Structure 1
Amino acid sequence: MLAGIPLGDLAFLAVSLVLAGAFTGVLAGLFGVGGGAVIVPILYEVFRVIGVAEEVRMPLCVGTSLAIIIPTSIRSFQAHRAKGMVDMSILRIWAVPVVLGVIGGSYIARFAPPDLFKIVFVVVAVASALRLLFASDKWQLGTEMPGKILMTIYGGIIGVLSALMGIGGGQLSSLFMTFYGRPIHQAVATSSGLGVLISIPGALGYIYAGWPKMDVLPPLSLGYVSFIGFLLFIPTSIWTAPIGARLAHRLSKRRLEVAFGLFLLVVAARFVISLLG
């Protein structure tokens, strides 16, 4: 399948993936996100160029994104935890519902139209970005984190949506925590731990989901996970994740809010473009 592609094009794609991996690592450390919003569209173009069938292209991007998020999330979580900013009590409550949500999302991905989840994400991302950019502290659901039952429900929703979007969950959980009055630095740091809970079962779920399609998937794929994309992203993303984490703790609260808000608008714009296309 790769034989008909000029060597120059392959070199360009390889360099693009390596650079994207570096950018993904910085995002993982800076915002507590796994970088799926960057990974998925880049992989989509790569797989389009090498001729991956349309019917499996998008789930292959999502599954590969979840696999790539595994090491970047672990590295980001370790860096933030070393700073003492991770609220482990929240992660303990979310652990089971998030994992169950990821498993459910991996199964739903076989049947549900992705546009529905893109629309939901755009609405949430834009509303939250406006809150961050305009520093409207009145945009809160409460001053304290909710009880265990509501937290469990939120965790399940985060898991489902993250699995369907190929993201580490940091975008959703960071927004949720800031809506309940948690400082942005702590929200970002704690959210980095969700990437670990989401990416591992998510990648395994997409391997299982894509197993019946092995005959139409590109070489070096295991279900809906491509080892080509995985191997090209990993080295630089692992290397740059601590850089992003250090940068996050050096920025003022206001600067981090603005940066995170602008990041969310970019991600929302990417989903809007895909919906219109």
Structure 2
Amino acid sequence: MHLSLFLILELCALGLVAGFLAGLLGIGGGMLLVPMLTYLLGRQQVNPDLAVKMAIATSMATIAFTSLSSVRAHHRHGAVRWDIVLRLAPGIVLGGLLASLGAFSLLKGSWLAILFSLFVGFSAMRMWADRKPSPTRQMPDAAGQLLAGGMIGFLSGLVGAGGGFVSVPFMVWCNVAIHSAVATSAALGFPIAIVNVLGYVLSGLSVAGRPALSFGYIWLPALVFVAACSVLTAPLGARAAHQLPVAQLKRIFASLLLGLAAYMLWKGLAAA
């Protein structure tokens, strides 16, 4: 696969935008990266089914870098709920391994694209509706957070996102302030990324038809250029998140997710 200067510039631009959105919205950039990398891999003549899987895996790999960069900025604002991180993380690890080592390799890329669009669209509609949670609702107990973490890790592993599309609405539903939910979601992105990337590499090593410069399901050129640029803008997004009003932040989050959900639904249905 020839890496043209134009492709490198596209990957760098994608990284800059994804990093900013990761810091701003706590979504790890995956909601933007999966559709865009699917498009770029398809343009490199990669089979559509494999392109979706590699986009998901590569997106997740970049989240390991953007999450570290954005969480530092959020931590300086005192917004990360580390108590929630510690209770959700064990379930996230278990759910992520189950997804990336099992279900991910069994499902077709077209079905993964459709699943991506449905979960993202559902999360966006809930956020856009801005329904107020019951004022007495709180985060569940340790067992409940273990189960919630397992669901977040599993869904993240299937769609290549840092979990923010599930964890942010879930925490807001449990009366966690939106800025703390975004910051905590950014912190959760790191364990989600590490465990899923391990699964993507192991399950993808024997897959035929992968492009040059790939490691398992991960497309290394995209990982290098996107990650290098995203860490530059993730702190800027995190800083902006603490300057925007809550309602505006929710609408930005929902608008972004709805557009990308529609694109991936179209891609999935076309390939099914």
TM-score, scaled relative to structure 2: 0.90
Instruction: Give the direction of change, closer, same or farther, for the CA distance of 1:103–1:127 in structure 2 (3 Å limit).
Output: closer
The alpha-carbon deviation at position 114 of structure 1 amounts to: 5.5
The alpha-carbon deviation at position 169 of structure 1 amounts to: 0.6
Match of 2:132 among 127, 131, 137: 137
**CA shift digits 1:71-120 (9 cap, x unpaired):** 00111111111110111111111111101111000121111345666556
Instruction: Give the direction of change, closer, same or farther, for the CA distance of 1:205–1:255 in structure 2 (3 Å limit).
Output: same
Match of 1:163 among 149, 157, 166: 157
> Which residue identity does 1:50 align to in structure 2?
Q
The alpha-carbon deviation at position 209 of structure 1 amounts to: 0.7
Bigger Rg over Cα: 1
Match of 2:224 among 201, 216, 231: 231
TM-score, scaled relative to structure 1: 0.89
Instruction: Give the direction of change, closer, same or farther, for the CA distance of 1:117–1:53 in structure 2 (3 Å limit).
Output: closer
Q: What are the within-5 Å matches in structure 2 for residues 80-91 of structure 1? A: 80-91=74-85
Aligned match of 1:37: 31
Instruction: Give the direction of change, closer, same or farther, for the CA distance of 1:272–1:54 in structure 2 (3 Å limit).
Output: closer
Structure 1: stretches of 5+ with no match in the other structure: none
Alignment partners' CA distance in 2, 1:267 and 1:55: 18
Note if contact 2:30-2:59 (Cα within 8 Å) is conserved in structure 1. Answer: yes
Note if contact 1:34-1:69 (Cα within 8 Å) is conserved in structure 2. Answer: yes
Aligned match of 2:245: 252
Note if contact 1:122-1:268 (Cα within 8 Å) is conserved in structure 2. Answer: yes
Instruction: Give the direction of change, closer, same or farther, for the CA distance of 1:114–1:57 in structure 2 (3 Å limit).
Output: closer
Note if contact 2:57-2:217 (Cα within 8 Å) is conserved in structure 1. Answer: yes
Using the TM superposition, name which of 114-123 and 90-99 deviates more: 114-123
> Which residue identity does 1:240 align to in structure 2?
T
Instruction: Give the direction of change, closer, same or farther, for the CA distance of 1:184–1:152 in structure 2 (3 Å limit).
Output: same
Match of 1:268 among 241, 261, 266: 261
Note if contact 1:114-1:164 (Cα within 8 Å) is conserved in structure 2. Answer: no
> Which residue identity does 2:138 align to in structure 1?
E
Using the TM superposition, name which of 169-178 and 141-150 deviates more: 141-150
Alignment partners' CA distance in 2, 1:54 and 1:257: 33
Structure 2: stretches of 5+ with no match in the other structure: none
**CA shift digits 1:42-64 (9 cap, x unpaired):** 22222222222445322222211
> Which residue identity does 2:103 align to in structure 1?
I
**CA shift digits 1:215-241 (9 cap, x unpaired):** 532222111112111112122200000
Q: Secondary structure at the match of 1:250?
A: coil
- Percent identity between the two aligned chains: 35
Alignment partners' CA distance in 2, 1:142 and 1:116: 38
Q: Secondary structure at the match of 2:72?
A: helix
> Which residue identity does 2:65 align to in structure 1?
P
Alignment partners' CA distance in 1, 2:74 and 2:16: 18
